Amino acid sequence: MSTHTPAPTGTAPSAPARPRDGGALPGRATLAAAVPGAFRKLHPRTMARSPVMFVVLVGSVATTLLAAADPGDRFGWAVTAWLWLTVLFANLAEAVAEGRGRAQAESLRRTRTDTVARRLTADRAAEERVPGTALTVGDLVVCEAGDVIPGDGDVVEGVASVDESAITGESAPVIRESGGDRSAVTGGTRVLSDRIVVRITARPGETFIDRMIGLVEGAARQKTPNEVALTILLASLTVVFLLAVVTLRPFALFAGAGAQATPLVLTALLVCLIPTTIGALLSAIGIAGMDRLVRRNVLAVSGRAVEAAGDVSTLLLDKTGTITHGNRMAHAFLPVRGVTVAELAAAAQLSSLADETPEGRSVLRLAEDGHGLPARDLDAVPGADWIPFSATTRLSGVDVTDGGTVRRIRKGAAGSVARWVRDHGGVEPVEADRIADRVAAQGGTPLQVAVSDTEGARVLGVVHLKDTVKDGMRERFEELRRMGIRTVMITGDNPLTARVVAEEAGVDDFLAEATPEDKMALIRREQAEGRLVAMAGDGTNDAPALAQADVGVAMNTGTAAAKEAGNMVDLDSDPTKLIEIVEIGKQLLITRGALTTFSLANDVAKYFAIIPALFAATHPSLDRLNIMDLAGPQTAILAAVIFNALVIVALVPLALRGVRYRPAGADALLRRNLAVYGLGGLVVPFLGIKAVDWLLALFL
């Protein structure tokens, strides 16, 4: 291992400041930066993405032409000005939401540096210095203390402390090592100590940071299925109101009220009756939902994933690192009768030399530090054929040939070791199974160590691995139950261990001795029953299940395969954040539903404001509909148009912040939504239009 510290090959990026939550109101600088974007969005091709606001744009152009035909009509110019402000306010809401993403993207751009990579030659005998942009997939690069990692990749040799603050915003360094599920490194991060060899897995321009920049800017955001369905509904309502308003002109002419039902007034009526509030805020709500995830250091590949999180009904959580602390370390060697602790420790050490998992390395530490065995490496055992740990066989070990005699040693899960012993002519390990059951009953994880030599195949004993449940997990799972979400713990441990941990943590169910195929089968079974499934994972063996799940959250510390398979990446690598993701998804859906309810309800007040103004002069009996006692036809119409524009501005903070979510069932949430936003959508416009009408009458 190198002990010198070379000169840095790139400039260390500074950690961007990332607020954990957005404020309710956008700042003055944010608003100023968003105003040009609001005007750029007036392009018809951009406006056409929202049918409701496109109709408002067309109406604004039409009223502008009508007002220009009669320059002295102050009422026409006032209506026209406020219709244009309605369009601009809607664009401003979306521009503010996008502006927050661009600010975060800019902080990420500062992490990209032009590094010089130390690429290994084909025979790995020498290094050559090349620009980081010249690296291709599969290249091996050396990084030592002080070096900036030139690209995304996996550690294939060594272990090092890495500063990832430029990506995660966290100042504490993390350990990256070959093998296991903590081998992935990200370009732009800095090595703080030791030496690692990294295999590049992404081409320049397609790195993780590049993908993050595109996504947080909103460039890659597509409308979700629910968003598309709601857009179709709003477009349908717009067509219905358009037909209704168009027919008012001939009715008005027939009734003798044609003077009031002018094209300008009818355009104002149409804009007030169509659901402009939700049409203006719909895109901002979706962008803000992804923004809330990014502020919690979670990158969502699409808005669809955020939305799906809100509908999740089954949550799959790994035991290790999620429900428990994840530091399953070898605690003790427990030999069977006739075997000494020293013999078991020596066999466990040999069988773990090719095991790159954290558990395997902890066995080595216990054998060397706890039992005084000398440290060994793979080259120290002549005639050895090493068997690395495999998630399929759940075994690791070695075959040592000495003078024509082969001695085989295996370490792994009790069931796998028992099968291996039987396959090699051994007997059922009854005593070892009793020891394993005792370890499992204590909440530990038992690994068995077996040997096959001239004396036959037999189990030498058990390695006791210990782990503990994280504080507060039972309360979190109880909260999920109140949301109507079922939790399932996934573990490779035996059923007895899994049951003890599941009962302590308070999960609803568990899947023990889970293989990648078992996880896939469980997810498909849940989906076949109509449930949406969320899962967190970090290993290559989790990749198929992450791809199958409706919401797959990959840990940033995990393998490249896991991050490619999932539709979200947690930069903090905190699996319990999956619970927060579900809450953010539900908040997104509730916010959209609440503002849709408010938008549809507040049309009622505008109806009572404008219809009496149109026909009351011809049909005095309709004046009874003027329940707000508005001053006159022009002030009533103008008050409705002004309120219609201002309510968009008033609701922008709520769209960006989101409606506060409280764990409750769907029925309770629906009742609360109707009581607060349905009733509020009826009452607030009456008060608002009346207040604006009073001011107009006072000053005009």
Does 573 show up as a binding residue in the annotation?
no
Q: Do the domain assignments include residue 11?
A: no
**Strand pairing report for 533-537 and 551-555:** parallel
Round to whole Å and give the CA distance between 405 and 455.
12
In terms of domains, do 487 and 416 share one?
no
pLDDT at 600 over 80: yes
Q: Do the domain assignments include residue 12?
A: no
Confidence label for 327 from pLDDT (cuts 50, 70 and 90)? low
Q: Do the domain assignments include residue 578?
A: no
What is the rounded average pLDDT of the residues 146-169?
A: 80
Sort 403 into a burial class: Cβ within 10 Å, 0-12 / 13-18 / 19+: exposed
Secondary structure element (H or E) that encloses residue 15, with its range: none
pLDDT of the residue at 616: 63
Does 393 show up as a binding residue in the annotation?
yes
Number of domains in the chain: 4
CB 675 within 8 A of CB 598: no
Does 674 show up as a binding residue in the annotation?
no
Does 207 show up as a binding residue in the annotation?
no
Does 69 show up as a binding residue in the annotation?
no
pLDDT at 14 over 50: no
DSSP state of 197: E
What is the rounded average pLDDT of the residues 219-241?
A: 77
Order of strands across the sheet with 395-402? 329-335, 456-466, 445-453, 405-413, 395-402, 384-390
Round to whole Å and give the CA distance between 550 and 523.
9
pLDDT of the residue at 103: 62
Does 542 show up as a binding residue in the annotation?
yes
Q: Which of 571, 602, 629 is the last residue of a domain?
A: 571
Round to whole Å and give the CA distance between 695 and 687.
12
Amino acid at 119: R
pLDDT at 21 over 60: no
pLDDT at 52 over 80: yes
Does 411 show up as a binding residue in the annotation?
yes
Residues 6+ away with beta carbon under 8 Å from 525? none
In terms of domains, do 165 and 260 share one?
no
In terms of domains, do 209 and 228 share one?
no
Sign of CA dihedral 32, 34, 38, 41: positive
Round to whole Å and give the CA distance between 147 and 187.
11
Select the more confidently predicted residue: 583 or 557.
583
Q: 551 - beta bridge partners?
A: 534
Percent of the chain with pLDDT over 70: 84
CATH of the domain at 168: 2.70.150.10
Closest CA to 398 of 475, 453, 321: 453
CB 444 within 8 A of CB 465: yes
Round to whole Å and give the CA distance between 523 and 531.
9
Does 389 show up as a binding residue in the annotation?
yes
Sort 564 into a burial class: Cβ within 10 Å, 0-12 / 13-18 / 19+: middle
In terms of domains, do 97 and 165 share one?
no
Q: Which of 468, 502, 524 is the last residue of a domain?
A: 468
Q: Quickly tell me which residue has 């039987």 as its tokens.
A: 422
Q: Quickly tell me which residue has 């149109």 as its tokens.
A: 614
Quick check: helix, strand or coil at residue 466? strand
CB 442 within 8 A of CB 465: no
The maximal CA–CA distance of the chain, rounded, in angstroms, is: 115
Q: Which domain holds residue 246?
A: 28-101+216-294+583-699
pLDDT at 77 over 90: yes
Select the more confidently predicted residue: 180 or 669.
669
In terms of domains, do 505 and 438 share one?
no
In terms of domains, do 88 and 210 share one?
no
Q: Do the domain assignments include residue 3?
A: no
Does 394 show up as a binding residue in the annotation?
yes
Confidence label for 478 from pLDDT (cuts 50, 70 and 90)? confident
What is the rounded average pLDDT of the residues 168-191?
A: 73
In terms of domains, do 220 and 205 share one?
no
pLDDT at 347 over 80: yes
pLDDT of the residue at 7: 36
Q: Return contacts of 299-302, CB within 8 angstroms, 24+ apart.
A: 299/211, 299/212, 299/215, 299/216, 299/568, 299/569, 299/571, 300/215, 300/567, 300/568, 301/215, 301/220, 301/566, 301/567, 301/568, 302/220, 302/221, 302/222, 302/224, 302/567
What is the rounded average pLDDT of the residues 561-567?
A: 79
Confidence label for 223 from pLDDT (cuts 50, 70 and 90)? low
pLDDT at 490 over 70: yes
What is the rounded average pLDDT of the residues 358-380?
A: 86
Concatenate the DSSP letters of all residues of 163-178 into one string. E-HHHH---S-EEEES
CB 414 within 8 A of CB 436: yes
Does 217 show up as a binding residue in the annotation?
no
> Cα dihedral angle (281, 284, 286, 287), rounded to 10 degrees?
180
pLDDT at 158 over 80: yes
CB 136 within 8 A of CB 203: yes
Secondary structure element (H or E) that encloses residue 299, with its range: strand 298-300
In terms of domains, do 335 and 453 share one?
yes
CB 510 within 8 A of CB 493: no
What mean pLDDT is reported for the chain? 81
Closest CA to 431 of 462, 399, 475: 462
Of 59-63, 207-211, 501-505, 532-536, the range with the lowest mean pLDDT is: 207-211
CB 473 within 8 A of CB 578: no
Round to whole Å and give the CA distance between 76 and 90.
21
In terms of domains, do 513 and 395 share one?
no
Closest CA to 503 of 477, 536, 481: 477
Does 599 show up as a binding residue in the annotation?
no
Q: 200 - beta bridge partners?
A: 153
Q: Do the domain assignments include residue 177?
A: yes
Q: 184 - beta bridge partners?
A: 154
**Which two three-digit tokens encode residue 509?**
């169910």
What is the rounded average pLDDT of the residues 617-638?
A: 75
pLDDT at 423 over 60: yes
In terms of domains, do 488 and 501 share one?
yes
Q: Do the domain assignments include residue 606?
A: yes
In terms of domains, do 459 and 333 share one?
yes
Residues designated as active site: 318
Q: Quickly tell me which residue has 């099968």 as its tokens.
A: 419
Q: Do the domain assignments include residue 410?
A: yes
pLDDT of the residue at 23: 45
CATH of the domain at 371: 3.40.1110.10
Round to whole Å and give the CA distance between 93 and 96.
5
Sort 23 into a burial class: Cβ within 10 Å, 0-12 / 13-18 / 19+: exposed
Round to whole Å and give the CA distance between 410 and 387.
9
| Angle formed at CA 222 by CA 670 and CA 92, multiple of 5 degrees | 75
What is the rounded average pLDDT of the residues 359-373?
A: 88
pLDDT, tens digit, for every residue of 180-208?
667 788 887 888 888 899 998 887 766 76
φ and ψ of 405, to 5 deg? -105, 135
pLDDT of the residue at 218: 52
In terms of domains, do 427 and 387 share one?
yes
Does 359 show up as a binding residue in the annotation?
yes
3-state helix, strand, coil in the chain (%, to 5): 50, 20, 30
pLDDT, tens digit, for every residue of 632-650?
778 888 988 999 999 999 9
CATH of the domain at 538: 3.40.50.1000
Select the more confidently predicted residue: 524 or 573.
524
Secondary structure element (H or E) that encloses residue 455, with its range: none
Sort 603 into a burial class: Cβ within 10 Å, 0-12 / 13-18 / 19+: buried
pLDDT of the residue at 466: 79
pLDDT, tens digit, for every residue of 239-292?
988 888 888 778 767 766 555 678 888 898 888 888 898 988 888 887 777 778
Q: Return contacts of 338-341, CB within 8 angstroms, 24+ apart.
A: 339/460, 339/461, 341/371
Amino acid at 629: D
Q: Which of 446, 468, 490 is the last residue of a domain?
A: 468
pLDDT, tens digit, for every residue of 110-133?
555 567 888 988 888 888 888 877
Q: Do the domain assignments include residue 109?
A: no
